[in-house]
Chain A
């Protein structure tokens, strides 16, 4: 089913269309939420909120017009921002488990893991909420600049500025920990 037909059917609350949308995009929404909140229950709650908002929008005759995934990430961005502002409760790094792959499958494991942990830690401590979200959207979830701008509701130039500042902060943090001071 084409995406436009899927949206049309979802506006009529067609059960199959709704199921298709949920099954197609809920894992991605969960991953995005989990990377930012580091809590599986919180991430699951965010998924629930996002799809509840989607239903409200469909009932109001709003909702996605063409790109369902971007639209759902746009909702997710707002939900995460609201939750972050209302409660600054990010779970400590110890509870996050991003290394589910077997250790033997990763070459240069120790150094790679250290780098990854340092980057994730620096994202929490050094970056603003917008910088964190932009970097995740751009380099983890794989959205381009235009899509990212749509999701966070800013211009493409804004996204580029936010992205460059975030990358620079992470680069400095990594150099501080592993490399030379710049």
Chain B
């Protein structure tokens, strides 16, 4: 029959110490596998080039060489330049025309070219004013195609407003 005693802290420490004397063995196979993985990772961190990663740098930086960084820099600069060029082209072709006062073009018939605002006498004797030229007051020469641009500062038109031909006065007989 076991004698019952009162355990003290020293007894607990003694038992724990005995536990420490019994060391669980680390399997040689497991240890070898871990060692190989550890050394392989250590070698990989060198980037395979023998270069040592500078202190303070992350391990991931090791794989990015200076050449790679330069190539990335050139690539990003090229992308930026192409983007800017496309932006300018788009602005010139699409955005800018909307802002500009529209250009009006009038085609005059090949025959019977009336002068703007000029009274033309017809065989029936009825004086008329060429309606097609009423809104081109500054045409100075007669050709197949006459064009005139309104002066945006003097036209009195708002942006996008279409100019209407001014009513012309009928000449007094």
**A and B: partners?**
yes
Query: Quick check: B46 and A13 within 8 Å, CB to CB?
Result: yes
Q: How far is the CB of B44 from chain A (nearest CB, A)?
A: 9
Q: Which residue of B lies closest to A101 (CB)?
A: B22
Query: Quick check: A30 and B53 within 8 Å, CB to CB?
Result: no
In the complex, chain B residues whose CB is within 8 Å of the CB of A178: 2, 4-5, 7
Query: Quick check: A179 and B4 within 8 Å, CB to CB?
Result: yes
In the complex, chain A residues whose CB is within 8 Å of the CB of B27: 40, 44
Bound: A27/B24 CA distance, A = 9
Query: Quick check: B35 and A140 within 8 Å, CB to CB?
Result: no
Known contacts A61-B56, A100-B22, A112-B15; 4 additional CB pairs below 8 A are A47-B26, A55-B59, A120-B19, A142-B20
Candidates A136, A140, A171; contact of B9 at CB < 8 Å: A171
Q: Which residue of B lies closest to A122 (CB)?
A: B12
In the complex, chain A residues whose CB is within 8 Å of the CB of B24: 30-31, 34-35, 40, 43, 97-98, 100
Q: How far is the CB of A147 from chain B (nearest CB, A)?
A: 15
Candidates A60, A98, A135, A179; contact of B59 at CB < 8 Å: A60
A129 within 8 A of partner (CB): no
Query: Quick check: A30 and B55 within 8 Å, CB to CB?
Result: no
Query: Quick check: B34 and A174 within 8 Å, CB to CB?
Result: no
Selected A-B contacts with CB under 8 Å, 24 pairs: A13-B43, A18-B38, A18-B39, A22-B34, A22-B39, A26-B26, A26-B35, A27-B31, A40-B27, A40-B30, A52-B38, A55-B45, A59-B53, A59-B59, A60-B56, A61-B55, A115-B15, A139-B16, A140-B16, A140-B19, A168-B9, A178-B2, A179-B6, A180-B5
- Most chain A CB within 10 A, of B9, B23, B57, is at B23
Residues of chain B at interface, number, CB under 8 A: 43
Listed in ascending order, the chain B residues whose CB lies under 8 Å from chain A are 2, 4-9, 11-13, 15-20, 22-27, 30-31, 34-35, 37-39, 41-43, 45-46, 52-59, 62
Query: Quick check: B15 and A119 within 8 Å, CB to CB?
Result: yes
Interface of chain A, main secondary structure: helix
Give the top 5 A-B pairs by smallest Cβ distance, nearest first. A61-B55, A59-B59, A139-B16, A140-B20, A30-B26
Bound: A47/B39 CA distance, A = 14
In the complex, chain A residues whose CB is within 8 Å of the CB of B34: 22, 26, 44, 47-48, 51
Q: Which residue of A lies closest to B37 (CB)?
A: A48
Given contacts A26-B34, A119-B19, contact A179 B5 (CB under 8 A): yes
Bound: A180/B62 CA distance, A = 64
Q: How far is the CB of A159 from chain B (nearest CB, A)?
A: 15
Residues 12-44 of chain A: 1 if any B CB is under 8 Å from the residue's CB, otherwise 0? 110100110011001100110011000010011
Query: Quick check: A13 and B52 within 8 Å, CB to CB?
Result: yes
In the complex, chain B residues whose CB is within 8 Å of the CB of A27: 23, 26, 31
In the complex, chain B residues whose CB is within 8 Å of the CB of A141: 20
Q: How far is the CB of A148 from chain B (nearest CB, A)?
A: 14
Q: Which residue of A lies closest to B8 (CB)?
A: A171
Q: How far is the CB of B16 from chain A (nearest CB, A)?
A: 4
Query: Quick check: B19 and A116 within 8 Å, CB to CB?
Result: yes
In the complex, chain B residues whose CB is within 8 Å of the CB of A31: 23-24, 26
In the complex, chain B residues whose CB is within 8 Å of the CB of A119: 12, 15-16, 19
